[in-house]
């Protein structure tokens, strides 16, 4: 019986080797855990701007519908909180859009010229009716009709239209930005 028990015990050298392997494995596992813990905040830090970019579209309340005259463009500021991955600024002017009332619906056009990003103006007709002559960019003379369609100049596309809805009597705009200088309407 006693000789069986002795035969199951590893020799001293083998026992030392086994305990060194166990120590090495434990050290490696600990190092991995530390590396993951250290990388975690860095990964969040690196990926956060990507997540922030995904939320570029936002519904922003603007003026009351009855403050718009039928067919007469009105430029309104888009004011909302500006958020990035780490901070929030309250009540920041993010840009502006042209609103044109058409009955109970409202056409919203980005005020940013698709050519190189200047701010477009409504053209006042000789009779003094704002917007009856469409829109014009003061930088390189691109021109657009009252619906935002490009009629002349170097702009590569029409003015960028934005979605709108009426909520509690107010015009709410799905505010987005688009790349300039290209034919396609591509959100930034
Ligand atoms: S920026 Fe508007 S025409 Fe060039």
Question: pLDDT tens, 71-83?
Answer: 999 999 999 988 8
Residue 153 Cβ < 6 Å to ligand 1: yes
**Given this model, what pLDDT does residue 115 score?**
98
Residue 164 Cβ < 6 Å to ligand 1: no
Work out the mean pLDDT of the chain and round it to a whole number.
80
Residue 102 Cβ < 6 Å to ligand 1: no
**Given this model, what pLDDT does residue 74 score?**
96
The number of helix segments (H) and strand segments (E) in the chain equals 2, 11
Reported pTM: 0.70
Residue 118 Cβ < 6 Å to ligand 1: yes
How far apart are the C-alpha atoms of 97 and 94, rounded to whole Å? 10
Backbone angles phi, psi at 78, to 5 degrees: -100, 110
Looking at the predicted structure, is the pLDDT value of residue 97 above 50?
A: yes
**Given this model, what pLDDT does residue 11 score?**
54
Q: What is the CATH number of domain 58-175?
A: 2.102.10.10
**Given this model, what pLDDT does residue 58 score?**
86
Sequence ranges of the domains in the chain: 2-53, 58-175
What pairs with residue 162 in β-bridges?
108
Span from the CA of 112 to the centroid of ligand 1 (angstroms): 9
Looking at the predicted structure, is the pLDDT value of residue 101 above 60?
A: yes
**Given this model, what pLDDT does residue 7 score?**
47
Angstrom distances, CA of residue 121 to CA of 44, 47, 146, 150, 183: 42, 38, 11, 14, 21
Tell me how crowded residue 74 is: count the other CB atoms within 10 A of its CB: 19
Residue 110 Cβ < 6 Å to ligand 1: no
Question: What pLDDT digit, counting tens, does each position of 124-177 carry?
Answer: 876 666 557 899 999 999 999 999 999 999 999 999 999 999 999 999 999 999
Span from the CA of 143 to the centroid of ligand 1 (angstroms): 9
Q: What percentage of the chain exceeds 70 in pLDDT?
A: 66
- Residue 142 Cα: closest atom of ligand 1: 3
**Given this model, what pLDDT does residue 17 score?**
52
Span from the CA of 181 to the centroid of ligand 1 (angstroms): 9
Do the Cβ atoms of 122 and 132 come closer than 8 Å?
no
Higher pLDDT, 31 or 124: 124
Looking at the predicted structure, is the pLDDT value of residue 107 above 60?
A: yes
Do the Cβ atoms of 178 and 95 come closer than 8 Å?
no
**Given this model, what pLDDT does residue 82 score?**
86
Contacts of 157 (CB under 8 A, 6+ apart): 114, 150, 182, 183, 184, 185
Question: What pLDDT digit, counting tens, does each position of 110-121 carry?
Answer: 999 999 999 999
- Residue 116 Cα: closest atom of ligand 1: 1
Do the Cβ atoms of 129 and 73 come closer than 8 Å?
no
Residue 113 Cβ < 6 Å to ligand 1: yes
Span from the CA of 111 to the centroid of ligand 1 (angstroms): 11
**Given this model, what pLDDT does residue 53 score?**
44
- Residue 154 Cα: closest atom of ligand 1: 3
Report the nearest-CA residue for atom 4 of ligand 1. 140
pLDDT-based confidence at residue 43 (cuts at 50, 70, 90)? very low
């Amino acid at each position: 019986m006693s000789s069986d028990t002795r035969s199951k015990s590893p020799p001293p050298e083998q026992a030392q080797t086994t305990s060194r392997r166990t120590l090495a494995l434990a050290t490696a596992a600990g190092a991995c855990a530390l590396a993951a813990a250290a990388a975690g905040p860095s990964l969040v830090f690196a990926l956060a701007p990507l997540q922030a970019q995904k939320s570029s579209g936002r519904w922003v309340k603007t003026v009351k519908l009855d403050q718009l005259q039928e067919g007469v463009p009105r430029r309104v500021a888009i004011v909302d909180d500006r958020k990035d991955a780490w901070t929030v600024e309250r009540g920041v002017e993010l840009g502006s859009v042209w609103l044109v009332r058409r009955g109970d619906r409202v056409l919203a056009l980005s005020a940013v010229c698709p050519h190189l990003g200047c701010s477009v103006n409504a053209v006042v007709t000789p009779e003094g009716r704002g917007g009856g002559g469409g829109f014009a960019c003061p930088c390189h003379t691109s021109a657009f009709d009252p619906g935002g369609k490009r009629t002349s100049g170097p702009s590569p596309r029409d003015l960028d239209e934005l979605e709108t809805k009426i909520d509690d009597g107010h015009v709410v705009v799905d505010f987005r930005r688009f790349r300039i200088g290209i034919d396609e309407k591509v959100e930034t």
